[in-house]
Amino acid sequence: MSLMKKLFAAAAMTAAVFAMPASAADMKIALVVKSLGNGFFDAAHKGALEAAEEIGGVEVIYTGPTSATAEGQIEIVNSLIAQQVDAIAISANDPDALVPALKKAMSRGIKVVSWDSGVAPEGRQVHLNPSDTDLIGETIIKLAADYLPEGGDVAILSASSTATNQNAWIEAAKKVLPEKFPDINLVATVYGDDDAVKSTNEAKGLIASYPDLKAIIAPTTVGVVAAAQVVTDEDLIGKINVTGLALPSEFKQFIDNGASQAVALWNPIDLGYSAVYLAHDLATGATAEPGATLSIGRVGEVTLDDTNAAAMAPPFQFDKSNIEEFSKIY
Ligand code: RAM
């Protein structure tokens, strides 16, 4: 081989080696969820696999702790760093506790996206909210208020007390209460940790403590099912309306039996799909900076705000008229 040819061959090989993570070959994207065994995250996983299939050459590592804790997620992030994944897309159990581990990941060249439940800006490159936070905050109160023309006592059954997403929605809800819903009286906020047993006990506690309770608002797909089951079991259908954010496939039975009038949610499949798309965008060289527009494949594109965050789409409302149709999808 002539010297020239050898040089060309060497250059071609170097290019091939450098191109590898970006080429279809072997990109590993970890989808880290708050906890395993949650139908919402299973639906997001489905979307993640769809994105991987569509992009090609992407392996999705679906993982999360057995209970929704930051400690469990930190261990997982450390093991993903050791596995040298290309990107981590995480729905965080705490905005701050994950930061050191995720910073370490980024220092090793791993791209980090938070989605659903965010990490503080220094711990990730991009955050994808499902919808606008203020809109969700107002929506969860309106869902209760729509069926309480006279107003009354309501309580919130949340996920974990450190969950970034639920805390942001609850804060947004409290902000609009006095002006837009003056007759709605928020008596308590309790935390079921996205655990069926704890959520059930917290719902029972609310009912025992507040005899005039008219609605339980659960902005978590785990809590809302637990609360509706308690209302059903305690023969309180028609007295307490359960509402919040629910996965239609899990919740249809409680619209059918009247424990709930209506609930809302965005498309969780699209959310998991979009999270993987964003992780792939970054791992193939897209720059995360305020004003940047990034592709989320068939879902469209997002423009990053001044904290490198963006929102996917507005939520849908589900009631007797449409929950059957949506329950077949997610
Ligand atoms: C639960 C989780 C998740 C949240 C949904 C609405 O599944 O807490 O983070 O987005 O509810």
pLDDT 10s digits, 282-325: 999 999 999 999 999 999 999 999 999 999 999 999 999 999 99
3-class SS shares of the chain: helix, strand, coil, % to 5: 45, 20, 35
CB atoms near residue 23 (< 10 Å):
13
Q: If pLDDT is split at 50, 70 and 90, which confidence band does 11 have?
A: very low
| Best residue for ligand 1 mutational test, from 31, 32, 33, 34 (most atoms within 8 Å of Cβ) | 34
Q: Are 48 and 280 in contact (CB under 8 A)?
A: no
Give the Cα separation of 170 and 200 in Å (integer).
Answer: 20
pLDDT of residue 177 exceeding 60: yes
Ligand 1, residues at Cβ distance < 6 Å: 34, 38, 40, 91, 116-117, 159, 165, 194, 220-222, 245
27-32 and 87-90 beta bridge pairing = parallel
Nearest-atom number in ligand 1 for the CA of 38 is 7
Greatest Cα pair distance, the chain, in angstroms, is: 90
Give the Cα separation of 213 and 207 in Å (integer).
Answer: 7
- Look over the chain and give the mean of its residue pLDDT values, rounded to a whole number: 94
pLDDT of residue 190: 99
> What's the 232 CA to ligand 1 centre distance in angstroms?
22
pLDDT of residue 25: 45
pLDDT of residue 26: 84
Structure tokens at 192: 């079921």
Q: If pLDDT is split at 50, 70 and 90, which confidence band does 55 have?
A: very high
The CATH architecture assigned to 133-265 reads 3-Layer(aba) Sandwich (3.40)
Residues in the chain: 330
Q: Is the Cα dihedral 134, 137, 140, 143 positive or negative?
A: negative
**Ranges of each domain in the chain:** 3-130+268-313, 133-265
Distances (CA, A) of 12 to 6, 15, 226: 10, 5, 59
Among candidates 277, 287, 326, 285, which has minimal Cα distance to 308? 287
pLDDT of residue 230: 99
pLDDT of residue 239 exceeding 90: yes
pLDDT of residue 118: 98
Among candidates 321, 315, 314, 274, which has minimal Cα distance to 298? 274
Distance from the Cα of residue 47 to its chain's centroid: 13
Q: Which residues contact 80 (CB under 8 A, 6 or more apart)?
A: 30, 32, 61, 63, 88, 105, 110
Segment 233-243 shows an average pLDDT of: 98
Segment 86-90 shows an average pLDDT of: 98
Q: What is the pLDDT of residues 138-170, one digit of tens each?
A: 999 999 999 999 999 999 999 999 999 999 999
Q: Are 313 and 270 in contact (CB under 8 A)?
A: yes
Domain 3-130+268-313 has CATH 3.40.50.2300: yes
pLDDT of residue 204: 98
Question: Which of 110 and 8 is assigned the larger pLDDT?
Answer: 110
pTM (2 d.p.) = 0.92
- In this chain, the answer to whether the domains covering 3-130+268-313 and 133-265 adopt an identical fold is yes
Q: Which residues contact 230 (CB under 8 A, 6 or more apart)?
A: 200, 203, 204, 207, 236
Q: If pLDDT is split at 50, 70 and 90, which confidence band does 113 have?
A: very high
> What's the 20 CA to ligand 1 centre distance in angstroms?
35
Segment 256-262 shows an average pLDDT of: 98
Q: How would you classify residue 244: left for phi > 0, otherwise alpha for psi between -120 and 50, otherwise beta?
A: left
Give the Cα separation of 185 and 71 in Å (integer).
Answer: 35
pLDDT of residue 179: 97
CB atoms near residue 256 (< 10 Å):
13
pLDDT of residue 300: 97
